[in-house]
Amino acid sequence: MLSARSLFQEIIDNDDSYRLFCSIAASGEAQGGWENARIAALLPESMRDLAPKVTRHGADEDKHGRIFTALLKKRGLEPVPVPPETDYTMLLEQRGIGLTHEKLRRDRPLTEEDILVYLSHSRVTEQRAADQMDMLVKFFGDHPEVGKAIRQICDDEENHLAYCHEELLSLAYAGHGRAIQRTLRQCALAEIAVYRDVSLAVMDHMGRLLKWPAAKRTALSLGIRGMYAYERAGGWRRMVDLRMPERRNALGGPAEPATAY
């Protein structure tokens, strides 16, 4: 029987698939760390009060990248190059979602509109990350090899999501509500398509590494496409609603260290 638990168990148990999984995760988190560090450095003067939180966000992402790399080293494995078709961050940028790396490499201050785009993009992608980590904690939170890492990353992702809700609501109260909703919708509709494409690509690579039969690959492909159809029909709306989080000022302090890694 196909299930998220059984699929992830297969991936963890095989060195080649585990190495690809951790390499993809580490690369994505490292990109997020760099992006947030650049945004913190380029914040407009009117929004400099966000700098500690954006910096903390980036530090958390860097930490997650180190955690995934440490999980590889713990098993005596080295990272592998990330196939471009599985690069979630790059594919979102190619669709015009978020702030481009070209813009972030400049030493020119960002605008308030840029920060609205950054927070909206983060609201959507952090929802995806939080959902995925919740699922992994449910199934593997007590796993002796990856459980501690998953729980720590999951808690951080909940903080990131709370931060996005709180800051976007603050901007909405300041009169940017319509622009925020428009940007959130654009980000969400692009994200669900990219997530579908990346999921198909990752499962294709895993299928070859794990020698899955054609019937299993077909079933997984149908499941991924079915999830996209659900999200396209209305499931995307969970990624754009805004509500005041229970965790207030979630990124108000320094990043929690990952001393075990």
pLDDT band at 97 (very low <50, low <70, confident <90, very high): very high
The pLDDT of residue 221: 96
Q: Is the pLDDT of residue 254 over 60?
A: yes
Average pLDDT over residues 217-229: 97
- Rounded CA-CA distance 118/95 in Å is 15
- Rounded CA-CA distance 115/41 in Å is 12
pLDDT band at 2 (very low <50, low <70, confident <90, very high): confident
Q: Where are the domains of the chain?
A: 4-239
The closest alpha carbon to 157, from 32, 31, 9, belongs to 32
Q: Is the pLDDT of residue 260 over 60?
A: no
Which CATH number is associated with domain 4-239? Answer: 1.20.1260.10
Average pLDDT over residues 118-145: 95
- Rounded CA-CA distance 46/64 in Å is 30
Tell me what the pLDDT averaged over the chain comes to.
94
Q: Is the pLDDT of residue 202 over 60?
A: yes
Q: Is the pLDDT of residue 107 over 60?
A: yes
- Tell me if 130 sits within 8 A of 157, measured CB to CB: yes
- Tell me if 162 sits within 8 A of 246, measured CB to CB: yes
Higher model confidence: residue 258 or residue 62? 62
The pLDDT of residue 226: 97
3-state DSSP of the chain? CCCHHHHHHHHHHCHHHHHHHHHHHHHHHHHHHHHHHHHHHHCCHHHHHHHHHHHHHHHHHHHHHHHHHHHHHHCCCCCCCCCHHHCHHHHHHHCCCCCCHHHHHCCCCCCHHHHHHHHHHHHHHHHHHHHHHHHHHHHHCCCCCCHHHHHHHHHHHHHHHHHHHHHHHHHHHHHHHHHHHHHHHHHHHHHHHHHHHHHHHHHHHHHHHHCCCHHHHHHHHHHHHHHHHHHHHCHHHHHCCCCCCCCCCCCCCCCCCCCCC
The pLDDT of residue 1: 57
The pLDDT of residue 73: 96
Q: Is the pLDDT of residue 34 over 80?
A: yes
The pLDDT of residue 54: 97
Residues 49-85: pLDDT tens digits? 999 999 999 999 999 999 999 999 999 999 999 999 9
Q: Is the pLDDT of residue 208 over 80?
A: yes
